[in-house]
Amino acid sequence: SGGGGSGGGISSSTSGLGGGCASTSSEAQQGALPADIIVVVDNSGSMTEEAIEVQNSMNAFASTIINSGIDAHVVLISDDSNNDEGICVPAPLGSGSCPNDEQLPTFRHVVQIVLSSDSLEVTLDTYSQWQDSLRPGASKTIAVISDDDSAMDAATFTQQLIALDASFQGFKFDAIVSPYELFPFVCLNCTPANCATCDPCCASKDNLFCVPLPADEGTVYKDLVNQTQGVLGDLCTQNFQPVFDDMATAVVTDSQIACVYDIPDPGNGETIDFDKVNVQYQPNPNAEPEIFPYVPGGASGCGSTGGWYYDDPNDPTQIILCQSTCDYVQGSTEGIVSVVFGCATIIK
């Protein structure tokens, strides 16, 4: 697909800007968004084994993302290791000291008891404790691990989250939850040594009898996964690493989206005047360049006519094309996106 040039050479150009000013242009290089990930773990009394699985999976999860060259910030909302159902993330993601495992800026631990059905409420209520870990323009992923359903519905959560922080527009939601409701009597007919033969969601209780692993089907969480095209894991497998691997891969893919470009050096020791930056596009090297307008409102201001915006208007390092503009650019295998310096920014 087009859009991510491999050049980077700087050349004088006034094409597409009316020729009324002196400018230089540099072919834009494909970049990757940073990734902000919020992991919320149910600390109810039935989640002891699951807490251990999450704790054991966090380092490989983060390493997959970071080793892909993506700047990741991970926020964990969960009780700490003073609680049997709490979590202490070991080094290198965590500090290696328990319960004080936080290691900023990469890893923030919001120590908060999360009850059976309030993962979504707690995520919203603790926002002030983790908002400093968020970056403008970063991809956003929320992952919940719970053996119960949510008391808050999917639509209400999404609405309140985006009202709280508009940068969550387009967020992904991952979940490790129960795939279905399981009635207790289903598990009672099996021996403690072979609980799963009754149902994969049956497990041994103190080697005395079989009980359901989940308290309830994770219906709301499954709705959020479907709405955001996230990753869904089965709590009943009790092996979370493959799911965390899939979640990490999804974060990498989401951050390495097309149409994110690192702002090139204008050359000649020049300082960038961000009031004089434009983005131009050629469907092929011989085509007349066209100018995409700047959208001051960011992604929410793109609309159907598209354009581009900065990752952070106050300290730009990347240019991001609006979705409709990105789709247009991706229509050519020869397309070239260039950043033009020196002419007043054309604003949408």
Buried b (16+ CB within 10 A) or exposed e, 287-321: eebebbbbbeebeeebeeebbbbbbeeeebebbbb
Query: What is the rounded distance in angstroms from the CA atom of residue 168 to the CA atom of residue 34?
Result: 14
Instruction: State the DSSP code for 327.
Output: H
User: Which pLDDT value is given to residue 118?
Assistant: 96
Sign of CA dihedral 117, 118, 119, 121: positive
Q: Quick one: tokens of 232?
A: 């869904």
Residue 229: the pLDDT is 94
Contact 35, 71 (CB under 8 A): yes
Cα 127 to Cα 125: distance, rounded to the nearest angstrom: 6
Are 277 and 340 spatial neighbours (Cβ–Cβ below 8 Å)?
Answer: yes
The DSSP secondary structure of 52-103, one letter per residue, reads HHHHHHHHHHHHHHHTTT--EEEEEEE--TTSTT---PPTTTS-S-SS---B
Distance CA 105, CA 101 (A): 12
Check residue 294 and report its DSSP letter: B
The vertex-169 CA angle with 27 and 344, nearest 5°, equals 35
Mean pLDDT for back-to-back runs of 10 residues, the chain (348 residues): 32 49 70 91 90 91 91 96 91 92 96 96 98 91 96 98 92 95 87 89 86 93 97 92 94 81 79 92 90 92 93 90 88 84 92
Residues 6+ apart with CB under 8 A from 188: 209, 210
Q: What is the pLDDT of residue 74?
A: 96
Q: Alpha-carbon torsion 116, 121, 125, 126, what sign? A: positive
The confidence score (pLDDT) of residue 12 equals 35
Question: What are the start and end residues of each CATH 3.40.50.410 domain in the chain?
Answer: 35-178+213-255
Q: Provide the pLDDT for residue 16.
A: 54
Residues 6+ apart with CB under 8 A from 102: 94, 95, 108, 109
| Neighbouring residues of 239: CB distance < 8 A, sequence distance ≥ 6 | 53
**What confidence score (pLDDT) does residue 201 get?**
92
Q: Give Cα separations from 339 to 28, 233, 317, 330 (angstroms).
A: 6, 42, 12, 17
Token duo for residue 105: 């800026």
CA distance 17 to 36: 37
CATH number, domain 35-178+213-255: 3.40.50.410
Residue 148, both tokens: 């119960």
Give me the residues paired with residue 6 across strands: none
Cα–Cα dist 12/25, whole Å:
6
